[in-house]
């Protein structure tokens, strides 16, 4: 295979232990494996997260949840995003917890569960400041009480989500207070709260008071968190590799690629790699990113094509068939998803999750 992704399962286990070291022993871990496990491959990665000590798995779609069930993964599974009513039966058949955020949605779920004489599991979403899905604070208590009155509904959890955990600590504290007020209102009305969770990756490290009963971690499972001190503890689990398909030499003044955005300032040796933005290597990295060839960095030359990348390997000993590392490497000659995110002016979450599922994944214990 020309292009491949290698996943170090020991790194995932290590990262999960780092998370455990930052939370109380009784606090549960919800391992987020949505978006093809952030590009790492859904089933094998989810199995590693589960067997390494996560208590619950979380996905974004019913399809992802069903894939895990078909793979005989028996952990509790939460779908964090929207599920249309036509999919409620699948959630019931496969014992999957759905996130609910409006009364019409959960009422329909109750009706579907009654038809099948089953109990639907739900996790109630509270909007504490993101202004996406969720019950608004002013209606949260009333809506929660109405959900309790519905038949065939079991509330497994209640949760919220930070808008800017690392960047705006004042606002994050307000969100915690907002959520705590809702939990207090349940207590005042003698309603026992189910499992409470709010903290994702950054908040897990920044706000111990937001750990509640569980932390809901995604990015840090895969070796990234955006926080410098904690980042040193984590091990990136994924490497993206290709190989040199052709070596070309261009003269001074010649251009390379679409739009002629790269112009050789000296006689230049190019490595042509059969990978591109259709494979998840963003076009935004054109003339910015670097790859590892022969244990040395080589800068991308010209615009990244749909399935081709050119790299300036002048002065590097290499030939057709040699390995090129687009994410990964060793020591100082290492390019990670944080680097790509910085060059592409995005976040590592996007870099990882957009890696094409058609690229072969290989799983190792390194």
CA distances from 266 to 27, 254, 310 (A): 59, 9, 16
- Among 34, 38, 125, 224, the one annotated catalytic: 34
Backbone region of residue 255 per phi and psi (left: phi > 0; alpha: psi in -120 to 50; beta: other values) = beta
DSSP state of 296: E
Instruction: State the catalytic residue, choosing from 146, 154, 169, 258.
Output: 258
DSSP β-bridge partners for residue 77: 57
156: left (phi over 0), alpha (psi -120 to 50) or beta: alpha
Task: Give the CA count within 13 Å in the CB-facing half-sphere of 79.
Answer: 29
Give catalytic status of residue 258 as yes or no: yes
* Dist CA 292 CA 285 (whole Å): 15
Which pair of structure tokens corresponds to residue 66? Answer: 């069903």
Catalytic residue numbers read 34, 258
């Amino acid at each position: 295979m020309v292009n491949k992704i290698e996943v170090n399962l020991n790194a995932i286990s290590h990262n999960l232990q780092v998370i455990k070291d930052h939370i109380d022993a009784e606090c549960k871990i919800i391992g987020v494996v949505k978006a093809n496990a952030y590009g790492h491959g859904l089933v094998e990665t989810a199995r590693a997260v589960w067997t390494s000590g996560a208590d619950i798995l979380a996905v974004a779609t019913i399809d992802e949840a069903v894939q895990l069930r078909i793979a005989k993964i028996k952990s509790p599974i939460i779908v964090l995003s929207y599920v249309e009513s036509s999919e409620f039966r699948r959630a019931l058949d496969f014992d999957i917890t759905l996130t609910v955020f409006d009364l019409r949605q959960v009422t329909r779920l109750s009706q579907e569960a009654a038809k099948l004489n089953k109990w639907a599991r739900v996790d109630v979403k509270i909007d504490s400041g993101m202004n996406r899905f969720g019950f608004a604070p002013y209606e949260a208590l009333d809506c929660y009480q109405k959900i309790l009155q519905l038949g065939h509904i079991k509330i497994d959890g209640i949760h919220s989500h930070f808008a800017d955990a690392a960047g705006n600590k004042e606002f994050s504290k307000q969100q915690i207070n907002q959520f705590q007020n809702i939990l207090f209102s349940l207590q005042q009305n003698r309603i026992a709260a189910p499992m409470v969770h709010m903290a994702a990756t950054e908040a897990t490290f920044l706000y111990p008071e937001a750990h509640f009963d569980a932390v809901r971690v995604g990015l840090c499972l895969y070796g990234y968190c955006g926080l410098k001190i904690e980042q040193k503890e984590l091990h990136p689990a994924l490497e993206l590799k290709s190989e040199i398909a052709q070596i070309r030499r261009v003269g001074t003044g010649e251009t390379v690629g679409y739009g002629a955005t790269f112009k050789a300032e000296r006689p230049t040796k190019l490595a042509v790699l059969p990978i591109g933005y259709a494979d998840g290597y963003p076009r935004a990295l054109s003339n910015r990113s670097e790859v590892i060839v022969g244990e040395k960095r080589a800068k991308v030359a010209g615009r990244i094509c749909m399935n081709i990348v050119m790299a300036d390997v002048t002065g590097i000993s290499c030939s057709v068939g040699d390995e090129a590392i687009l994410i990964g490497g060793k020591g100082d000659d290492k390019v990670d998803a944080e680097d790509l995110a910085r060059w592409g002016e995005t976040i590592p979450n996007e870099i990882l999750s957009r890696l094409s599922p058609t690229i072969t994944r290989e799983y190792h214990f390194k």
